[in-house]
Structure 1
């Protein structure tokens, strides 16, 4: 009889752990995460009402994620599939997702034909009531020189959005004219947004003119992203070939909030790179920036190659913490690449509450 009671007591403990033991197990939360986070390129993240939203091209449209954490996804859904035989059926590049005036917008580049040559890339926008859709196609942006007649719509990719003093501005990478090939220098342009799917007249903002911005068969500036810190506004951009280990980042700084962002003279270009690869990190770029869950830290969300080979097919997504120097300028430091890092501040506390 004693043996039976002993076995029953052991079984009870196995199936019904005391609450104290359960609580202790629940609090065992990893303090680190591992880079890279996933395979991919052109990463975009935005923080909205305490949650992070990311988006990427999934091979046949776009996938959106939602999470309380920077280092992992809690919800992931395919939200849009392109139409057949349309201007945006193929080559879906660098999507971004933005909440504007109570709705959600996806900005992206696409083409009427599949693959190279890439001379048909144009910027477009989708609209929805929620980040997970359903999305309505609001069409192609006009990014040429004559928004009145809309004559000669020029090549455009990597569109992002700046909100400043109640106005919205689109910033993108584009060409100065029409071409029937893709070996063309790329410049940064800016235009005021009449509404989330219509632009005013474009303004040439910046060209690749510094020596470290050159060196490939084309000179390019692309992947513009907005960084706001205190009263300062920056445009972070990528330069050199995204398929090479030379990919790196530069920055423009708005002289003050009173300066007109449509005036190129309102922006100061920094003469040295902001962020670049090294002997172990083979190029960095097309990054977005955000803060930790508790807003105490700043993080950059970028892509890099895992080796010198592979071109566009060997890119992965990384996170790295950064700070600001005594002048208020962002300081990222050396690219750390693969490996374990401490999780963003506030993540562990959120997970322990679950």
Structure 2
């Protein structure tokens, strides 16, 4: 068996860990003696949802005093006190606690509020008591007195009183539970930094192993290559890949750069050949003052485009190279500015390359001049055109609805960050849309099918896909934006960026299984916690607005922007995407973890037939 601890953290603005992040449930696992090692970079894994007003606006919420427990029929439950975003008492939650269920402590389903009393609640505990067939709940209100009750299931609307004998047993068990909490390691060195301790729960080793694989960043643990290979040329040998092993139980196939000196394929016999695992190097940042980066492969070459922060977002430049690494030093070619067309002013934002029916397009946002007129546009590369030649790109067209009407009313709402992808025989677009007038509702994600024969028009009515309902998504401002699709054999993932475009900018994730209707928002699973933050990779702050590209060797790369230091400019980075045990993307596997020094070298016995005499 293993032990995990659920807890919140103290607010620490110097670590970019303000109240909306600190007031969430974190997890740590006991590792040695009484020490607990945090999961997920000591960041929250469970956040309270915002409540929604009739006009669609959101009220940010947080949680405190989380309590982990096991459910009757397997799985886990969590109870916590819902509070206002900054930790104050929440009037909507007076006398109630918030309840979740989870199969694996990775994905959670919020069940709603459970009414316990009338006063504000400070702490809560819960366990299932088989003898009475109910969940026993103990809570402490503002007056400091412990109160008890029971519910038959976790979706009950209110608590029932305990019988006299049941109460006596519950009081004894609560005393034992609180004693266990008090006996938790008291020295600071034994607890995760900033830990505000909750409770400890015993889980199986199998459950603990799954948490380690999902919530710890994997590291390279080994490499293998056939001990003997028969080949008649370097081309034939290079078809053989090395296999890298990782601490999460996954493997990745990688190319090998062989030492070709002293190897003669004309010679019959065996020869020992040595090589190194091919690993592209991308020191962060790869491009200063370039945000919202996107890389595409087109006709055998790589192309890079990004928002240009250096000139206040008035130009778009493209880089071209034969390799992904070559983009770092490739020259830039101007393809659009805010002076060429009268309807295209400043704020040229978030350009993305997308192929539709064999043609190359750039989706981007632009304005006639002012911020509130920022809307999604499309440019098309002419047949046989050169992507780095601005004359080969069409005049930008504003994206419209299927009937030709505007998606929203410019001057009151903006659209931006439109992305496009092909999935199960249809083209789709997802974008961010924000109403500012008459009331700022924050930025929401929308999805619709796209007309591939006329890609400046939608094919279906827009559907709301996501709102910034969690604390990490509404930190400083309510924003979901920057979506981009990532496809695997069984699932479609859409990562997106949330919160203000500052050091607390993060990447969230949505997923949906193959065969399900993308236009039904209930079919999507939204991760309760972000998968890339300022705590994921040391020295990178405000990570966000990412895109993906697959190279010629089948490796998927994440292009993203972050700040090199808290005061640094938004700048582009590139890092390999690692896929975990469930096939989900992990964006924090750095080069140092991806291929360890001791596993960079391989060798094999090369058997060559030589030339026939």
TM range (shorter): 0.7 to 0.9
Check if 1:48 corresponds to 2:307: no
Kept in 2: contact 1:85–1:112 (CA 8 A): no
Gaps of 5+ in 2: 1-260, 262-277, 601-613
Instruction: Call closer, same or farther: CA 1:335–1:156 in 2, change over 3 Å.
Output: farther
Gaps of 5+ in 1: 1-19, 21-28, 346-354
Kept in 2: contact 1:281–1:335 (CA 8 A): no
Kept in 2: contact 1:119–1:180 (CA 8 A): no
Residues 1-354 of structure 1 mapped to structure 2, 5 A cutoff: 32-39=281-288, 40-58=290-308, 59=311, 60-73=314-327, 74=330, 76-83=332-339, 86-113=342-369, 118-129=371-382, 130=385, 131-133=387-389, 134-142=392-400, 147=403, 149-150=405-406, 152-153=409-410, 154-175=413-434, 177=435, 179=437, 184-194=441-451, 195-199=454-458, 200-216=460-476, 218-242=477-501, 244-256=502-514, 258-278=515-535, 280-295=539-554, 297-309=555-567, 314-333=569-588
Q: Distance in 2 between the 1:32 and 1:266 partners? A: 38
- Give the TM-score normalised by the residue count of structure 1: 0.76
Q: Distance in 2 between the 1:149 and 1:321 partners? A: 40
Shift of residue 202 of structure 1? 1.0
- Give the TM-score normalised by the residue count of structure 2: 0.45
Kept in 2: contact 1:37–1:71 (CA 8 A): no
Kept in 2: contact 1:208–1:221 (CA 8 A): yes
Q: Distance in 1 between the 2:429 and 2:337 partners? A: 24
Q: Distance in 1 between the 2:438 and 2:396 partners? A: 26
Shift of residue 141 of structure 1? 1.5
Q: C-alpha deviations, 1:90-114, integer Å up to 9, x for none?
A: 2100111222223221111111125
* Secondary structure at 2:528 match in 1: coil
Instruction: Call closer, same or farther: CA 1:48–1:209 in 2, change over 3 Å.
Output: same
Q: Distance in 1 between the 2:489 and 2:301 partners? A: 21
Instruction: Call closer, same or farther: CA 1:276–1:123 in 2, change over 3 Å.
Output: same
Q: C-alpha deviations, 1:207-264, integer Å up to 9, x for none?
A: 0112221221x2100100111122321101011111x1111101100122x1111111
Instruction: Call closer, same or farther: CA 1:211–1:86 in 2, change over 3 Å.
Output: same
Kept in 1: contact 2:282–2:575 (CA 8 A): no
Q: Distance in 1 between the 2:575 and 2:279 partners? A: 17
Kept in 1: contact 2:557–2:576 (CA 8 A): yes
Kept in 2: contact 1:98–1:105 (CA 8 A): yes
Kept in 1: contact 2:292–2:307 (CA 8 A): no
Q: Distance in 2 between the 1:138 and 1:315 partners? A: 25
* Secondary structure at 1:90 match in 2: coil
What is the number of residues matched between the two proteins?
A: 300
Q: Distance in 1 between the 2:321 and 2:441 partners? A: 38
Shift of residue 336 of structure 1? 7.8
Q: C-alpha deviations, 1:111-132, integer Å up to 9, x for none?
A: 1125xxx222101111122323
Q: Distance in 2 between the 1:221 and 1:77 partners? A: 31
Kept in 2: contact 1:248–1:273 (CA 8 A): yes
Instruction: Call closer, same or farther: CA 1:224–1:234 in 2, change over 3 Å.
Output: same
Instruction: Call closer, same or farther: CA 1:107–1:33 in 2, change over 3 Å.
Output: closer
Kept in 1: contact 2:285–2:564 (CA 8 A): no
Shift of residue 54 of structure 1? 1.6
* Secondary structure at 2:478 match in 1: coil
Q: C-alpha deviations, 1:51-88, integer Å up to 9, x for none?
A: 32221345543222222222223564222344557332
- Which structure has the larger Rg? 2
Alignment RMSD: 3.0
Kept in 2: contact 1:275–1:334 (CA 8 A): no
Q: Distance in 2 between the 1:332 and 1:30 partners? A: 16
Kept in 2: contact 1:68–1:293 (CA 8 A): no
Kept in 2: contact 1:64–1:78 (CA 8 A): yes
Instruction: Call closer, same or farther: CA 1:70–1:89 in 2, change over 3 Å.
Output: same
Structure having greater relative contact order (Cα 8 Å, sep ≥ 6): 1
